[in-house]
Amino acid sequence: MKISVIGCGYLGAVHAACMARLGHEVVGVDVDEAKIAALAEGRAPFFEPGLPELLGEVSGTGALRFTTDMAEVAGSQVHFVCVGTPQRRGEYAADLRYVESAVDALIPHLRDGDLVVGKSTVPVGTAAGIAERLGREAPGVSLAWNPEFLREGFAVKDTLHPDRLVYGVPGGEAGELAVAQLDEVYAGPLSEHTPRVVTDYPTAELVKVAANSFLATKISFINAMAELCEETGADVTRLADAIGYDDRIGRKFLNAGLGFGGGCLPKDIRAFMARAGELGADQAVAFLKEIDAINTRRRVRMVDLAREVLDGSIVGKRIAVLGAAFKPNSDDVRDSPALDVAVQLARQGADVRVTDPEAVPNARRLHPELRLVESLDEAVVDAEIVLLLTEWQEYRELVPAELAEKVAGLRILDGRNVLDPVAWRAAGWTYRALGRP
Ligand code: NAD
């Protein structure tokens, strides 16, 4: 099929490359010239494992091109809208201006029989509004909402082999046609028996925010238990193991620590609260306010723990922060818990050095006031305390005796509960973590 992908960020660039890999002819469009220039040369504009290889593989086939010119979508039968929906400044609600401007720019190039497919995460009711507009301005064109569940760090695999596909479609013949078109797009994954849920627009929109709310709740639940463990001397990692053996609960997403961040979970639960409020259903998701608060408290607690371990003051103390990305295997620093802690420590007078295997350039752009260094060695030299805040594999594998030779004080805070306390203490380190004695 001929496919266009509008918005080539973390979601869209991967989607475009994967659609080409599935055998389609794809054009990716973005307003960001630098991003398009990189992609057009077959380079990934951000760090995502497997994407450079995939771009190399499909670029050579001529099945994938990138442009800033929206007119080039003409001739595509299916148009995926993958633009950003960030949190509005100073509000909880989602900022839909990018979705609106993408639809504005797309409409003049649509032809009868085309299908517009929303993938961006939007407040419930958005799809109905866009469908109404298409009905007025491009009556032969249909709309489907096909939320995306990929995880950064596994985006290529998740797009080529999703664990489910959700189609929100209109009723009647238009809906049947939309389903047939999407089935053709996803013929590859469907041949692997990927479950497919066909539903209406509001359900499809809600599926995405419900899934993210559930995941955020699971993380904040275990972090609330961590708070209790801290008061009682219990160990939250053992607690998580023990409750996780119950397969109704499951161990995944029960890793206590610094909590969630990134370009999705925090803004999605806030946008959900805002939308529920507009619908007069705010009580239904009022609990998300607490989920958000528990999450934010972990960051404050991390700063307090550093102060406690440094005998009551962080002023002027050399602190090494390992990790700037919101999670390992990504260079995404949007609402990163690690960076947030680093910024708070620096603002409170500590001499902070932050490093990350991939996210230093993005972190530098967002926080030019922070001292960001390229290597672990530069970060830890003369450090009085080391904070492991994003659990990259290379930090999980740190050897206590080797690190001891580089720092000024043997103190480590394990913000992700990934180190072995016994080994670190045996090597002479003061080891502290969230939710563990
Ligand atoms: P992003 O900021 O990385 O990418 C958005 C892209 O859209 C940018 O490159 C931007 O330049 C482009 N854009 C903005 N306005 C445009 C326009 N009018 N025309 C063309 N391009 C335009 O964001 P992202 O992480 O890719 O997220 C995109 C959407 O996907 C969001 O709604 C997000 O919630 C959702 N989502 C993201 C993920 C993820 O892991 N990143 C997962 C699932 C869903």
Q: How far apart are the first and last CA of the chain?
A: 57
Residue 59: per-residue pLDDT: 84
Note if the pTM is more than 0.95.
yes
Rounded-to-integer distance, Cα 126 and Cα 201, Å: 9
Rounded-to-integer distance, Cα 255 and Cα 259, Å: 9
Catalytic annotation present for 18: no
> Which residue has a Cα nearest atom 9 of ligand 1?
9
Rounded-to-integer distance, Cα 278 and Cα 22, Å: 40
For ligand 1, pick from 10, 96, 366 the residue to mutate: most ligand atoms within 8 Å of CB. 10
> Which residue has a Cα nearest atom 38 of ligand 1?
11
Residue-wise DSSP of 249-280: T-STT---SS---SSSHHHHHHHHHHHHHHTT
Q: Give the strand order in the sheet containing 371-373.
A: 371-373, 351-355, 318-322, 385-388, 411-414, 430-433
**What's the full length of the chain, in residues?**
437
> Which residue has a Cα nearest atom 34 of ligand 1?
121
Residue 429: per-residue pLDDT: 98
Residue 119: per-residue pLDDT: 98
Which atom of ligand 1 has the smallest separation from the CA of 46?
3
Cβ(73) – ligand 1 distance below 6 Å? no
C-alpha pair distances (Å), 93 with each of 133, 183, 334: 22, 33, 17
For ligand 1, pick from 30, 213, 275 the residue to mutate: most ligand atoms within 8 Å of CB. 30
Query: For residue 141, what are the contacts with CB-CB under 8 A and spacing of at least 6?
Result: 110, 111, 112, 113, 114, 115, 116, 134
Distance from residue 69's CA to the centre of ligand 1 (Å): 17
Distance from residue 41's CA to the centre of ligand 1 (Å): 20
Could you read off the pLDDT of 143-196 as tens digits, one per residue? 999 999 999 999 999 999 999 999 999 999 999 999 999 999 999 999 999 999
Of the residues 8, 82, 229, 264, only one is catalytic, namely 264
Q: Which residues of the chain have pLDDT under 50?
A: none
Which atom of ligand 1 has the smallest separation from the CA of 98?
15
For ligand 1, pick from 4, 6, 11 the residue to mutate: most ligand atoms within 8 Å of CB. 11
Distance from residue 83's CA to the centre of ligand 1 (Å): 4
Segment (H or E) for 3: strand 2-6
Cβ(150) – ligand 1 distance below 6 Å? yes
User: Within 10 A of 179 (CB to CB), how many other CB atoms are there?
Assistant: 15
Q: Which residues are registered as beta bridge partners of 167?
A: 198
Could you read off the pLDDT of 263-293 as tens digits, one per residue? 999 999 999 999 999 999 999 999 999 999 9
C-alpha pair distances (Å), 179 with each of 35, 143, 400: 32, 11, 55
Residue-wise DSSP of 89-155: TTSSSB--HHHHHHHHHHGGG--TT-EEEE-S---TTHHHHHHHHHHHH-TT-EEEE------TTSH
Cβ(72) – ligand 1 distance below 6 Å? no
Which atom of ligand 1 has the smallest separation from the CA of 152?
40
> Which residue has a Cα nearest atom 2 of ligand 1?
84
Cβ(264) – ligand 1 distance below 6 Å? yes
Rounded-to-integer distance, Cα 238 and Cα 436, Å: 9
Rounded-to-integer distance, Cα 151 and Cα 200, Å: 24
Residue 25: per-residue pLDDT: 98
C-beta separation of 352 from 322 below 8 A: no
Domains of the chain, CATH where assigned: 2-199 (3.40.50.720), 216-433 (3.40.50.720)
Cβ(83) – ligand 1 distance below 6 Å? yes
Distance from residue 8's CA to the centre of ligand 1 (Å): 7
